[in-house]
Amino acid sequence: MRIKLVSAILTLGLALASCSDRRTVIGVSQCSDDAWRQKVNREIKIGQYQYKDVDVRFCSANNDAKRQVRQIDSLVASGVDLLIVAPSDVSTVTPAVERAYRKSIPVILYDRKIYSDCYTAYVGADNVEIGRVVARFIAAKLGGKGRVLEIAGLKGSTPVEERHRGFVEEISKYPGITTSTVNGDWNVDGARKIMSRSLAVDPNIQCVFGHNDAEALGAWEAAKAVGKEHDIMFVGIDGLPDKRQGIDLVKRGCFAASYIYPTHGETLVPLAMRILNNKPIERMNYLPSSLVTAENAAIVEMQNNEIACQANSLDAIYANIDSYMKMYRSQKIISWLAAFIVLLLIVLAAYNYYVYKTKAKVGRRLRQIADEKVRFFTRASHQLRTPLTLVAGPLRHLISQGGFDDKQQQTLDIIQRNVAELEHLTANVLNFQTRVDSATDNTDQCQQPSISDETVSQLVLQDSRRDIVTKNDPDDDLDTILIVDDNADIRSYLRSLLSPYYYVIDASDGRNGLRLARESVPDLIVSDVMMPIMNGLEFCSKIKADDVTCHIPVILLTARSAESQRIEGYEHGADGYITKPFNADLLLTRIESMLANRRKIKIAQLDGKAEAPDTADANSADNLFMSRFREAAMQHLGDADLKMDDLGSELHLSRVQLYRKIKALTGKSPTDIIREMRLNRGHYLLCHTDRPISEIAYEVGFAVPSYFTTCFKKQYGINPTELRRG
């Protein structure tokens, strides 16, 4: 009790301390990690610095849509307050964004859109307008005539679709210009290959429009390789200031222009905080921008360099602020904990005083109860002595007369032994007062109880009753028999008959027998038919209808011997039917025969057979259960952390029931069978694939490859490496 109280107070203290320093967490899922995205991330950090209680978690999918879906789901599971997502492949990523949105997590789409209205706001450029601006620039430069190659971005991206639509709408106004479009992958290498193939087909290309600067650069490098870099005009999107980026390439004359694809990542965190604080926002937020040409490239580069220097300074300043804030939060938590420790000490002191007073009160009450019990049993024992004397005296006299035959003498001996037992029990009750009085004196001296109420009750009753005890745990060698009968003498007789050969448990009616059968899963059940609460027929039906116990053979004992009654017993699922009074040897023979049949089934299961000879119909439920078990285990074969509790839940069994059911059917534990299944699967993969042994070990559920090798050699007599060589 005291430990639970302390734990509860500490947990409450930690919870309050953490709540006092609640931080807003924003998750950012980027589709890639190129230079443009890195610039965005730096600007997001600048926006974060405006808020002292905001953390930003970044992740990049590297243009892998499925990976981005996993990252989004992971961010949601970690408990982020808001998501900022730049989708990769729209059709793949859209469901993940919808899942987050439907869990009441606000979503800001950045740079790219999705095929759904399940988002809170959009921030990015007007990609249709970008396509139009580039088209007008190219048309003007070409004088309204020429051949243009459009290298679009990765298919499935909304910027690709919108830029292409705007470009085509505008360029179609110039009949003298012909265009061709090829989808790239946003990268230099991919665009270089596309340009090389295009020049081989059409050497008269006059202009290349790349959907980002990387694609335009790849096309320029391919043209340079064949000496055409000065004959073709190149236009890109992104307009970043670094080396081999858009502004630098325009300044050097490699590009005719690069459209500055605006980042403005610093606006994202303020927008997110307005959303989280339920303030009004614009849902569609388009960022303005323009072309960088040879005329303005130097000025734009200078401005970008100045902004970069300012950003670096801000980074240094806010890094110091972060360290100070962490120190402040730590001190705040320590203060909260100190306050709760003081509170804890006060509560513990009050609790100890309460316990002391309660113990004293309980001690007095226990002494009263003990005295009352002693007085009751003393009076009862004195009252018993009179009839015992009247029985014991005449009995001794009768026996002393002699002249009885063996059967009569045996009956008299039984009566005499039981009378002597009653005298012994009565004497013990009388002697019990002197033991209890001594204990009471000791408790008075200590001024608190030294024995519990439960202990006193046990002392009072231990000598007054006799229990039957059984052991851009059963002996492992013994089968378990459950006896169900409402007659205590019958249960005692059957126990004495079966105990030399089996581990025996018993129940006094069908309801308790059913509970005990589910808990202990015995190897065989012997049940009476006529019982209160739940008769043997109903009990047998429920045993056979339960997945946990349906495999257990049931022998019914009854005085009803009519053939129709026997048929009724078999219709309720009985495996055997013995009429009272029964022959002990017959019962033992039937039990051993049925258990031997069960052993055959175990052997069949161990050999992996679906059914044992001549038992297919009777044990179809067992075979079905084993099939369900193996199917469930196969689904989790690669899970090294698989727990029997989880597997049992799938089969609607507790861990103990699953273990005993499988053990009863196969002679092996569920863990042993799953290990064999894993090793069999590993053997197959070793023989039919060339995958590394460690990879196969992980796939079949072994967290440590060396343990897989040890188990494999133990089962097959050869280690995996030797098997591969052979």
Q: What is the pLDDT of residues 161-172, one digit of tens each?
A: 999 999 999 999
Confidence of residue 25 (pLDDT cuts 50, 70, 90): very high
Answer whether 480-606 and 620-725 agree in fold.
no
Do the Cβ atoms of 39 and 264 come closer than 8 Å? Answer: no
Q: Which two tokens stand for residue 508?
A: 């006094």
Nearest to 98 by CA among 81, 85, 88, 110: 85
CA distance 512 to 439: 38
Q: Which of 63-72, 315-324, 545-554 has the highest mean pLDDT?
A: 63-72
Number of alpha carbons in the 13 Å side-chain half-sphere of residue 115: 11
**Across the chain, which distance is largest between two alpha carbons, in Å?**
145
Average pLDDT over residues 522-549: 89
**Is the pLDDT confidence value at 256 over 60?**
yes
Average pLDDT over residues 205-222: 96
Topology at the third CATH level for domain 127-261: Rossmann fold (3.40.50)
Do the Cβ atoms of 525 and 504 come closer than 8 Å? Answer: no
Topology at the third CATH level for domain 24-125+262-289: Rossmann fold (3.40.50)
Confidence of residue 396 (pLDDT cuts 50, 70, 90): low
- Taking CB atoms within 8 Å and a gap of at least 24, the contacts of 176-179 are 176/144, 176/145, 176/146, 177/138, 177/139, 177/142, 177/144, 177/145, 177/146, 177/147, 177/148, 178/146, 178/147, 178/148, 179/147, 179/148, 179/149, 179/150
Residue with the larger pLDDT of the pair 104 and 614: 104
How many helices (DSSP H) and strands (DSSP E) are in the chain? 25, 17
Q: Which amino acid is at 119?
A: Y
Do the Cβ atoms of 36 and 212 come closer than 8 Å? Answer: yes
Topology at the third CATH level for domain 620-725: Arc Repressor Mutant, subunit A (1.10.10)
In which element (H, E) is residue 516 found? helix 510-520
Question: Phi and psi at residue 118, in whole multiples of 5°?
Answer: -85, 65
**Is the pLDDT confidence value at 314 over 80?**
no
Do the Cβ atoms of 156 and 89 come closer than 8 Å? Answer: yes
**Is the pLDDT confidence value at 367 over 60?**
yes
Confidence of residue 125 (pLDDT cuts 50, 70, 90): confident
Give me the pLDDT at residue 377, please: 63
The CA–CA distances, whole Å, from 504 to 442, 496, 516, 553 equal 43, 9, 12, 15
CATH code matching the domain that covers 480-606, chosen among 1.20.1430.10, 3.50.7.10, 3.40.50.12280, 3.40.50.2300: 3.40.50.2300
Confidence of residue 53 (pLDDT cuts 50, 70, 90): confident
What are the structural domain ranges in the chain? 24-125+262-289, 127-261, 337-461, 480-606, 620-725
Give me the pLDDT at residue 492, please: 86
Confidence of residue 311 (pLDDT cuts 50, 70, 90): low
Among 331-335, 451-455, 658-662, which is the least confidently predicted range?
Answer: 451-455
Task: Collect all residues with Cβ–Cβ distance below 8 Å to 324 and sequence separation of at least 6.
Answer: none
CA distance 637 to 641: 10
Pairing mode, strands 291-293 and 503-507: unpaired
Give me the pLDDT at residue 332, please: 79
Q: Is 589 helix (H, G, I), strand (E, B) or coil?
A: helix
Confidence of residue 67 (pLDDT cuts 50, 70, 90): very high
pTM: 0.46
**Is the pLDDT confidence value at 27 over 80?**
yes
Mean pLDDT, the chain, integer:
82
